[in-house]
Amino acid sequence: MNSRIIKCSDAILEATDQTMADDTSVYIIGLGVPQGAAGTTSGLKEKYPARVLETPTSEAALTGLAVGSAISGLHPIVHHDRVEFSLLAADQIFTQAAKWNYMFGGGGHVPIIFRIVVGRQWGNGPQHSQALYSLFGSVPGLKVVVPSSPRMAKGLLIAAVRDKNPVVMLESRWLYGIKENVPVGLYETLLNKAHIVKKGTDITVVGYGDGLFTARRALELLGKNESKVELIDLVSINPIDYKTIHASVKKTGRLITVDTTNGAFSVGSEIIASVKKDSFLKLKDSPVAVSCPAVPCPTSPALSQFWYPTKVDIANAMLKMLGKPTVGLKLSFEELHLPPTLTLE
């Protein structure tokens, strides 16, 4: 399949465009969708005027409408531009869509996709920078995926559209500008399978979304120690692919998890608990969780730089676990505070 380098936002746009062209039951609904939604829906209103919908400002109403249409056989993509606003539709997502298949003994389906934008952005502060991964990941009946790259984002969205039951795709707005070589045509990425980004021998590092992206950047600081790190992209936080994680930790004997949200009740803490239960006797060191502190994210750049884990923080966690000297690199203002635009290899 032919491929070319495109941004993550363009990969999401392409997946939406191609699935709408492939299946006339697919439509997209959400506030700001006809205007482009940070480039992820640009031009779709002109191409599919009857299937790109904006409603009055009521997340509960538009989500309830979409859930009902999915039960009736359509394939809606619901876009919520901030995770905080999606909570206004918590009943429709958590109580209705997520439970439908179970309540009908596996015979009722809700083929709906919730595209929910999460995480950091310049100046968003405590009310508009949450991620809430654990909240969505804890709900039975929801598949929850978190793309970390353009290629992953496109494949996951296409697979989600073709799934019979609800899928939540939590999209880090921080990653919309990164680039990667992405196949041109339709392809699917498994919704329940972790991906080994890089094989290694001495440490297993598990991340997802922008945390995985930052962990990839951290490898640049390790020098000859880079070969010792096995890096796993979790991809899905519900279900979690424990089989891949446990196999890796049994090989390396060490574990570091990376979350770009509060570490309490986090995906990382859940993974550490599972590894201790499954592979305790194989551990050579205590697992380490790299995460954000248990306070809201500050608005001030001077403070927010200490809230999110950086590539230096993650690299030093790896080096400490290996018993190697840590690095004291000072990051630039641009790297700390501006969304990345680099191209992944």
Average pLDDT of the chain to the nearest whole number: 96
Torsional sign, CA 320, 258, 191, 253? positive
Per-residue pLDDT at 305 exceeds 90: no
For residue 121, the model assigns a pLDDT of 79
* pLDDT at 225 exceeding the cut of 80: yes
How sure is the predictor about 47, in pLDDT bands with cuts at 50, 70 and 90?
A: very high
Q: β-strands 75-80, 113-118: how paired?
A: parallel
Q: Count Cβ neighbours within 10 Å for each residue of 46-57 and write b for 16 or more, e otherwise.
A: eebeebbbbeee
Q: Of all residues in the chain, what percent carry a pLDDT higher than 70?
A: 100
Q: Looking at residues 124-147, what average pLDDT do you find?
A: 93
User: Can you tell me the distance from the alpha carbon of 246 to that of 92, in angstroms, rounded to the nearest whole number?
Assistant: 35
Report helix angle 267-279 to 242-252, nearest 10.
60
pTM: 0.96
**Paired strand residues for 255:** 204
pLDDT confidence bin for 14, thresholds 50/70/90: very high
Model confidence at 9, pLDDT cuts 50, 70, 90, reads very high
Question: What is the structure's pLDDT at 338?
Answer: 86
Q: Are 150 and 8 in contact (CB under 8 A)?
A: yes
Tell me if 3-183 shares its fold with 195-337. Answer: yes
Instruction: Find the mean pLDDT for residues 78-104.
Output: 97
CATH tag, 195-337: 3.40.50.920
Q: What is the pLDDT of residue 83?
A: 96
| Residues 259, 133, 268, 206, CA torsion sign | negative
Domain 3-183 has CATH 3.40.50.970: yes
- Inform me whether the pLDDT recorded for 220 exceeds 80: yes
Contact criterion met (CB below 8 Å) for 108 and 61: no
pLDDT at position 334 is 85
pLDDT greater than 90 at residue 120? no
Q: What is the pLDDT of residues 257-283, one digit of tens each?
A: 999 999 999 999 999 999 999 999 999
Q: What is the mean pLDDT of the segment spanning 302-330?
A: 93
Average pLDDT of the residues in 207-219: 97
User: What integer is the mean pLDDT of 191-208?
Assistant: 98
Average pLDDT over residues 220-235: 95
Q: Where are the domains of the chain?
A: 3-183, 195-337
Mean pLDDT for 75-103 is 97
Rounded distance between C-alpha atoms, residue 120 and residue 129, angstroms = 5
pLDDT at 126: 82
Instruction: Give the per-residue pLDDT at 303.
Output: 85
Residue 72 has pLDDT above 90, yes or no: yes
Indicate the pLDDT class of residue 194, thresholds 50, 70 and 90: very high
Check pLDDT > 90 for residue 157. yes
pLDDT at 125: 79
Mean per-residue pLDDT for 63-90? 97
Highest mean pLDDT among 67-71, 296-300, 302-306: 67-71
More confident residue, 257 or 330: 257
Rounded to whole angstroms, the Cα distance separating 286 from 267 reads: 17
Element (DSSP H or E) covering residue 9? helix 8-22
pLDDT score at 128: 83
